[in-house]
Chains A and B, each alone.
Chain A
């Protein structure tokens, strides 16, 4: 079964019309935490309605923005210093993505969003694992040094005696 699924996915990619995309977005902080799930569900439905197949995604989280952003909605300028940041990764037809972008442009819940071409593989988890490796390296070196020291004790004693004798 799994092989068949993989083949189907490959066929979609080999069409030449489909691509792996990632949508990163900032939601307006005026949304209540309870309603966040609803917005998140709506976004998933939106992606699905444009024929998108969701690969991975993350729930929007409240973050402090690195700088304050402005957005004009119905001739009112709004300033934001916090927002909900979330992302979804999906496979979609290249033409449909443009249509989805036009749809998202009109959505008042978004401060900003970014649609990028990306790869299917999980890009974050690999990095965290790799970072762990870099911290392990000095530990292995120190443990090697410790194992070497006790073996030489007798030799060192003899050397010291020899020095004292001189």
Chain B
């Protein structure tokens, strides 16, 4: 993913409930991918990390995948 996924798809607000999108930015172990791998802008990467953390808190995404 070279281009920013969120601006390419015209997503202005990254929602923690949209688990299918957030899953794209998780490694096989469930860790958040670095901005180097995601290609997301710094602003969106921060919003993305927050959204993933909110989804984890509510049990929608795992903290770790064994």
User: Footprint of B on A, CB under 8 Å?
Assistant: 24, 26, 63, 65-67, 69, 83, 85, 87, 112, 114, 116, 118-119, 121, 123-124, 126-127, 130-131, 133-134
Apart from A67-B62, A85-B60, A114-B54, what 14 extra A-B contacts exist at CB < 8 Å? A24-B17, A24-B54, A24-B58, A66-B63, A85-B58, A112-B57, A112-B58, A114-B58, A116-B16, A119-B12, A123-B17, A126-B12, A127-B15, A130-B11
CB distance from B37 to the nearest CB of A (A): 19
CB distance from A108 to the nearest CB of B (A): 18
The residue that A130 contacts in the complex, of B10, B13, B58, with Cβ under 8 A, is B10
Interface string of B37-49 (1 = CB under 8 A from A): 0000000000000
Q: Which residues of B contact A65 (CB under 8 A)?
A: 59
Interface of A is mostly: strand
CB distance from B11 to the nearest CB of A (A): 6
**Complexed CA–CA distance, A15 and B50 (Å):** 28
Contact A69 B16 (CB under 8 A): no
Interface string of B10-25 (1 = CB under 8 A from A): 1111011110010000
Per the CB 8 Å criterion, the residue count for chain B at the interface is 20
**B9 close to A (CB within 8 Å):** yes
Closest to B64 in A: A67
Task: Provide a sorted-by-A list of 27 A–B residue pairs whose CB atoms are within 8 angstroms.
Answer: A24-B17, A24-B54, A24-B58, A26-B59, A63-B60, A65-B59, A66-B56, A66-B61, A66-B63, A67-B59, A67-B63, A85-B58, A87-B17, A112-B58, A112-B59, A118-B13, A119-B12, A119-B13, A123-B15, A124-B17, A124-B18, A126-B10, A126-B12, A127-B11, A127-B18, A130-B9, A131-B9
The residue that B62 contacts in the complex, of A66, A87, A114, A131, with Cβ under 8 A, is A66
